[in-house]
A and B are shown apart, each in its own frame.
Chain A
Amino acid sequence: MSEIVLQAKGLKKSFKSPTGLLTVLRSIDLEVYAGESVSIRGSSGSGKTTLLQLLGGLDVPDSGEVKLKLSSRTMLSPHRCLGQGVGFVFQNYQLMPELNAWENVALAAQIAGQGESEKEAQALLALVGLSHRIHHMPTQLSGGECQRVAIARALINQPAVILADEPTGNLDEVTGKDVMNLLLEVVAQRNTALVLVTHSKEFAERTQRRFFLSSGVLTPA
């Protein structure tokens, strides 16, 4: 068995809501191994986005802990090392509107303190099939193209794991399929682990391990 790159133990998360405390995640345990792909399905409002945010360190759990493999030895809580070790792909792309495709990809590397990122950004855009669009602004790109840029951006800092939250949710069926194919292809090719949140059974089938989130717990599906 290969090594663990992301590990969640006993995650619990609740939110204050108008109707009192809303417990979204009760007890989540998850181990993601290097290079594998994992899918999470669940009904709307079941807490999939919340879980991904905890896994990526965008929020902290009420109890339990998340550990992320950064280098060969250290495991760190991901909210202490945002931008390193984890790459995000969001449903609505979340590109910087004032930067072109190339700059959007390079920005992630610059923020992470990686110098000389321009070449790498160009190579990644070629990898996602956008070498002819690198100077386009997000408004000049189609949804599918935007998501490809976002995938390139998620890859540039060589994360151990990519967290993708319904990456095809805003795309039509054909484009969605293309983007999903690309995503699965590049993570396999670069031996990057993938945690995919999706509504689509079809896409979930293509991952190596599948989970279902309901009532705040993960069950294998």
Chain B
Amino acid sequence: MAWFFHLALRQLFPPGKRFPAFAIVSILGVGLGVASLLVVQTVMNGFGEEHRLRIRESFGECVVVANRPISNVDELISSLNLEEEVLSISPYAEGPALTRRGSFSGVAFVRGIVPTDEEIPARGYVVAGDFNELDDGRVVLGIGLARDLRVKVGDKIDLWSPVMVDQAEKGKAPLPAELEVCAIVRTGFSEVDNRAAMISLRRFRELWSLGNKVHGVILRLDDPSQAPAIAARLNQGKPDLRFVPWQEIKKNFLEAIRFEKTMLFFLMFIITLVASFSIGSTLFSAVIRRSREVGVLVALGAKPWQLVGLFGLQGLWIGALGTSLGFVLTWTILSFRDSILGTINNLFGDGDMVASVYQFARVPLHYEPMDFLIAAVFTLLVTTLAGLVPALWAAGRKPSEAMRDV
């Protein structure tokens, strides 16, 4: 083992000292910096992931639409069924309608769906009732629409489709469809919550006189993150159809999330940079404090690169231990996030923001290995440099001068 390995270890953790203050404070500083960066990143990733999941589950992973109603839907479904990436397919039809209950009315964007299909958007966001009870005589409403109509599960609403208006124009006297509310959903996306009304596809075709046509199909994919590429590939040779991946459906929203993450990373990066500089100055003064010793080492024949090694190693070890501590701290803080958040809510009396604003059960997390890697590499780089720069300065001095230092 090179001598400066041994000496670096001794200088960092002097024997006989139970509390190596310099090392502990530096390592703690690095650890806190790394932890604050990673906690923010991981929570932001968690929110991002949660939002992405919610988009997929509220709008579908990939929606196939056409310029006019699709008549050969069975053919389309069986051809898409051959594709490996497509896990399941659900046809749908949609159109606007007027809904009424008593003197309250609302505009609904009605979707006709196959009630048994699992991938129906918003299916996982039922706040009242039971989605599984949807049949030809029932309807699932978005929570905003349900409020507009002052209905709850079990109430009945009237629905007027455009076809009925046609009939009225032709002098017939159409009757509205009477539907019982069987479930209410809340996705957090206002365009769904305030407008959505879901009925069975069979009933929709009847009310809209659609025959056996549909307006599109919704796909579930084996790898939703690859939806744009899969959609583009599936779209080949089908010019009259358009495959829209979920990323495109809520493009602006996703971009906003990504921008938010970038901004936060930037801010946290500055904080970490400030922390790094304070570690740099601590190391710097440590080297200066030892300049007489550096002079002696040079007198004993130490080469400049060995001195750089001596102090660079100390920086590297502080960085490595600090980063490890930062990882442990991150994990600990995030594991106890519920109690931490609970305490904050109690202190400031804000109530549960996560539940009320975001509708998440708890603060979502998503550990991104890349974030951890970047944080580690960056920290090691900075702390090593913080040791190297003063070491270079010290090594460049004349030993005769260094040894006159008191």
Taking Cβ atoms with an 8 Å cutoff, the residues of A that contact B are 50, 53, 56, 58-59, 81-84, 88, 90, 94, 96-100, 103, 107-108, 110-112, 137
Are B300 and A82 within 8 A (Cβ)? Answer: yes
Interface check B297, CB cutoff 8 A: yes
Are B403 and A107 within 8 A (Cβ)? Answer: no
Name the prevailing secondary structure of the A interface residues. loop
**What total of chain B residues lie within 8 Å of the partner, measured CB to CB?**
23
Partner of A58, one of B6, B14, B16, B403: B403
Partner of B16, one of A83, A94, A108, A137: A137
Are A58 and B15 within 8 A (Cβ)? Answer: no
Are B15 and A111 within 8 A (Cβ)? Answer: no
Q: Which residues of chain A are within 8 angstroms of B296 by Cβ–Cβ distance?
A: 90, 94, 96
Q: Which residues of chain A are within 8 angstroms of B400 by Cβ–Cβ distance?
A: 50, 53, 58-59
11 contacts between A and B (CB under 8 A): A58-B400, A83-B302, A90-B403, A96-B296, A97-B14, A98-B7, A98-B11, A99-B7, A110-B3, A112-B301, A137-B16
- Expressed in whole angstroms, the Cα–Cα distance for A147 and B297 within the complex equals 17
Query: Distance (Å) between the CB of B211 and the closest chain A CB?
Result: 89
Interface check B263, CB cutoff 8 A: no
Are A98 and B301 within 8 A (Cβ)? Answer: no
Taking Cβ atoms with an 8 Å cutoff, the residues of B that contact A are 3, 6-7, 10-11, 14-16, 292-293, 295-302, 306, 398-400, 403
Q: Which residues of chain A are within 8 angstroms of B301 by Cβ–Cβ distance?
A: 81-84, 108, 111-112
Q: Decide: A107 near B300, CB < 8 A? Known: A58-B403, A98-B10, A99-B7.
A: yes
Q: Which residues of chain A are within 8 angstroms of B298 by Cβ–Cβ distance?
A: 58, 82
- Expressed in whole angstroms, the Cα–Cα distance for A107 and B14 within the complex equals 16
Are B299 and A107 within 8 A (Cβ)? Answer: no
Q: Which residues of chain B are within 8 angstroms of A56 by Cβ–Cβ distance?
A: 299
Are B16 and A111 within 8 A (Cβ)? Answer: no
Q: Decide: A98 near B398, CB < 8 A? Known: A58-B403, A83-B301, A84-B301.
A: no
Q: Which residues of chain B are within 8 angstroms of A88 by Cβ–Cβ distance?
A: 299
Query: Residue of A at shortest CB range from B399?
Result: A58
Q: Decide: A111 near B10, CB < 8 A? Known: A58-B403, A94-B292, A96-B293.
A: no
Q: Decide: A111 near B399, CB < 8 A? Known: A96-B293, A98-B7.
A: no
Query: Distance (Å) between the CB of A131 and the closest chain B CB?
Result: 20
- Expressed in whole angstroms, the Cα–Cα distance for A187 and B139 within the complex equals 106
Are B300 and A98 within 8 A (Cβ)? Answer: no
Query: Distance (Å) between the CB of B259 and the closest chain A CB?
Result: 50
Q: Which residues of chain A are within 8 angstroms of B398 by Cβ–Cβ distance?
A: 58-59
Query: Residue of A at shortest CB range from B297?
Result: A111
Are A58 and B299 within 8 A (Cβ)? Answer: yes
- Expressed in whole angstroms, the Cα–Cα distance for A83 and B300 within the complex equals 4
- Expressed in whole angstroms, the Cα–Cα distance for A56 and B296 within the complex equals 12
Query: Distance (Å) between the CB of B15 and the closest chain A CB?
Result: 7
- Expressed in whole angstroms, the Cα–Cα distance for A107 and B301 within the complex equals 10
Q: Which residues of chain A are within 8 angstroms of B295 by Cβ–Cβ distance?
A: 58
- Expressed in whole angstroms, the Cα–Cα distance for A96 and B14 within the complex equals 11
Not counting A83-B300, A108-B300, a sample of 16 additional A-B residue pairs whose C-beta atoms are within 8 angstroms of each other reads: A58-B298, A58-B398, A82-B298, A82-B300, A82-B301, A83-B302, A84-B301, A98-B7, A98-B11, A98-B15, A103-B6, A107-B7, A110-B3, A111-B300, A111-B302, A137-B15
Candidate in A59, A94, A98 with the most chain B CB atoms within 10 angstroms: A98
Query: Distance (Å) between the CB of B77 and the closest chain A CB?
Result: 76
- Expressed in whole angstroms, the Cα–Cα distance for A96 and B295 within the complex equals 11
Q: Which residues of chain B are within 8 angstroms of A111 by Cβ–Cβ distance?
A: 3, 297, 300-302, 306
Q: Decide: A112 near B300, CB < 8 A? Known: A96-B293, A98-B14.
A: yes
Query: Distance (Å) between the CB of A107 and the closest chain B CB?
Result: 6
Q: Which residues of chain A are within 8 angstroms of B11 by Cβ–Cβ distance?
A: 98
Query: Residue of A at shortest CB range from B11?
Result: A98
Query: Distance (Å) between the CB of A24 and the closest chain B CB?
Result: 12
- Expressed in whole angstroms, the Cα–Cα distance for A110 and B301 within the complex equals 10
Query: Residue of A at shortest CB range from B1?
Result: A110
